[in-house]
Amino acid sequence: MDLMSAGIGGAAATAICSVFGWMLKRSIGQLDRKLEAHDEALQKRSDDLAAFKLHCAETYATHSSVEKAIDAFNRSIDAVFAKLDRIEEKLDKKADK
């Protein structure tokens, strides 16, 4: 009888270990799938960010180019005011004659 109970106990222990092993394998498999999905989501976000950076670089002006454009505009305005001042001086001289 001891041999029979030992066989049944061993079979029960083997069954319990098998169930726990199967559960462990299943949970590890689920974690692997979650990690793969997470990696795919991170890669998609990284690709989206790279596309947005490219869009910004192609669409919007940089700080230095805006400064150059403003400086050129200011020089043009200064030239217009200088011409207006010369015209005003000529008109003042004509009015005196």
- The verdict on 47 and 69 lying in the same domain is no
Domain boundaries, position 78: 61-97
- The verdict on 82 and 54 lying in the same domain is no
- The verdict on 28 and 74 lying in the same domain is no
Q: How confident is the model at residue 11 (pLDDT cuts 50, 70, 90)?
A: confident
Q: How confident is the model at residue 3 (pLDDT cuts 50, 70, 90)?
A: low
Alpha-carbon torsion angle 15, 19, 20, 21, nearest 10: 100
Q: What is the pLDDT of residue 96?
A: 59
Number of independent structural domains in the chain: 2
Whether pLDDT at 25 is above 70? yes
Question: Helix, strand, coil shares of the chain as percentages rounded to 5?
Answer: 95, 0, 5
- The verdict on 7 and 30 lying in the same domain is yes
Cα–Cα distance measured from residue 79 to residue 73, given in angstroms and rounded to the nearest whole number: 10
DSSP characters for 72-85?
Answer: HHHHHHHHHHHHHH
- The verdict on 1 and 21 lying in the same domain is yes
